[in-house]
């Protein structure tokens, strides 16, 4: 049988590289693209790619999606996993916003334009819990989004462009609202990565606010599985919450890290950060029912795996 061909944008990133590996294991031929945008050390992204580059079914291009001919690219593939973005809620204020608009909105629009006249069977777009803003309890997709960061505004715009192209032109788009994904290869600006690295090396951890803010933490393998389910399901023109199985406060996360590393965390208290929602909490009923999404990884299992990876990454 002919292999399915997938395009993964952002394939050197945390989710994009893990997804690419999974697709190869599932028998796909994978076209990976990454611009190595400057949000963190290029060497970490190169490491993410290491295992992929030796696989003959993986084809990698270092290209900036802002100036790419999507028509030519889409003619080569059956499905697209659009993971590329400029991420991060707290860094999206001020002059940086222009870059968020370019990477997150304009690139998505160019991809959707090209998809209008392509034969691509599904486009799975990475969206974000940050489209909602704060949540006071389990939150489903019927709740009106009210982002509290400029980043959330760009992800919401990208998602709505997806809905628009699905409704008007029948482009088969599905957007996945990831909830704070963690696990091996997590971005170095994200909480778990920073916390684990600093606990292991005896450096202080920055805590924003009182640490009582909570997140619905989603393990990377569950987020990757959600992408495969979305790609193979007949559903299109929909958005889905992709949450995990654990809601924890930042203080609870630190206590768990202390238990699992056997070290005491040094804490540095900083003010609450503009752009941070107080709580996130995914109601994942829709993804369960329509995609068969069933997250498996609890926080303990996931944290343990991430501790092993951060240890080996920094020789700690």
Active site residues: 151
Q: Could you give the CA distance from residue 3 to residue 28 in angstroms, rounded to a whole number?
A: 6
Among 39, 162, 22, which Cα is nearest to 90's?
39
Among 36, 93, 97, 208, binds ligand UGA (CB under 6 A): 208
CA distance linking residue 22 with residue 35, whole number of Å: 21
* Part in contact with ligand UGA (CB under 6 A); list of ranges 23-31, 85-93, 158-166, 304-312: 85-93
Residue range at the interface with ligand UGA (CB under 6 A); choices 3-11, 41-49, 86-94, 303-311: 86-94
Q: What is the DSSP string of 144-179?
A: PP--SSHHHHHHHHHHHHHHHHHHHH---EEEEEE-
Q: Are 150 and 92 in contact (CB under 8 A)?
A: yes
Q: CA angle at residue 297 from 294 to 303, to 5 degrees?
A: 155
Stretch 275-294: interaction string toward ligand UGA, x if CB under 6 A: -x------------------
Residue 98 three-state SS = helix
Q: Cα torsion for 257, 263, 269, 274, to the nearest 10°?
A: -30
Q: Are 188 and 194 in contact (CB under 8 A)?
A: yes
Nearer to ligand UGA, 32 or 147 (CB): 147
Q: Is position 139 an interface residue for ligand UGA (rule: CB under 6 A)?
A: no
Helix H or strand E encompassing 24? helix 14-25
Residue 35 sits in the site that holds ligand UGA (CB under 6 A): no
Among the residue ranges 52-60, 123-131, 221-229, 299-307, the one whose residues contact ligand UGA (CB under 6 A): 123-131
Taking CB under 6 A as the rule, does residue 227 contact ligand UGA? no
* Residue with Cβ nearer ligand UGA (108 or 180): 180
Residue list 233-252, contact with ligand UGA (CB under 6 A): 250
Q: Counting contacts by CB under 6 A, is residue 87 touching ligand UGA? A: yes
Among the listed ranges 18-26, 34-42, 55-63, 83-91, the one in contact with ligand UGA (CB under 6 A) is 83-91
Q: Which residues bind ligand UGA (CB under 6 A)?
A: 87-89, 128-130, 178-180, 190-191, 194, 206-208, 213, 215, 250, 273, 276
């Amino acid at each position: 049988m002919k292999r399915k061909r997938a395009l993964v944008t952002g394939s050197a990133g945390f989710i994009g590289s893990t997804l690419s590996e999974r697709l190869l294991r599932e028998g796909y031929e994978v076209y990976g693209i990454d611009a190595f945008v400057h949000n963190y050390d290029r060497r970490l992204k190169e490491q993410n790619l290491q295992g992929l580059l030796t696989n003959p079914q993986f084809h990698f291009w270092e290209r900036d999606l802002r100036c790419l001919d999507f028509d030519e690219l889409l003619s080569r593939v059956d499905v697209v996993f659009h993971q590329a973005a400029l991420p991060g809620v707290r860094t999206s204020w001020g002059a940086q916003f222009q870059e968020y608009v370019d990477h997150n909105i304009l690139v998505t629009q160019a991809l959707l334009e090209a998809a209008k006249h392509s034969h691509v069977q599904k486009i799975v777009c990475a969206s974000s819990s940050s489209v909602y803003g704060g949540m006071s309890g389990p939150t489903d997709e019927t709740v009106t989004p009210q982002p509290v960061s400029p980043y959330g505004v760009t992800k919401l715009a990208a998602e709505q462009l997806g809905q628009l192209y699905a409704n008007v032109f029948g482009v088969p788009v599905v957007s996945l609202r990831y909830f704070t994904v963690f696990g091996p290869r997590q971005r170095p600006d994200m909480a778990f990565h920073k916390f684990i690295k600093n606990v292991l090396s005896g450096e202080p951890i920055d805590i924003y606010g009182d640490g009582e803010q909570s997140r619905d933490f989603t393990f990377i393998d569950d987020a990757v599985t959600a992408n495969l389910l979305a790609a193979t399901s007949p559903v299109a023109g929909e958005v889905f919450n992709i949450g995990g199985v654990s809601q924890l406060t930042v203080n609870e996360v630190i206590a768990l890290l202390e238990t699992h590393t056997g070290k005491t965390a040094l804490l540095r208290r900083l003010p609450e950060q503009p752009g941070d929602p107080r709580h996130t909490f995914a109601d994942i009923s829709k993804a369960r029912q329509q995609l068969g999404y069933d997250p498996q990884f609890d926080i303990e299992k996931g944290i343990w795996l991430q501790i092993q990876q951060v240890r080996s990454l920094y020789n700690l």
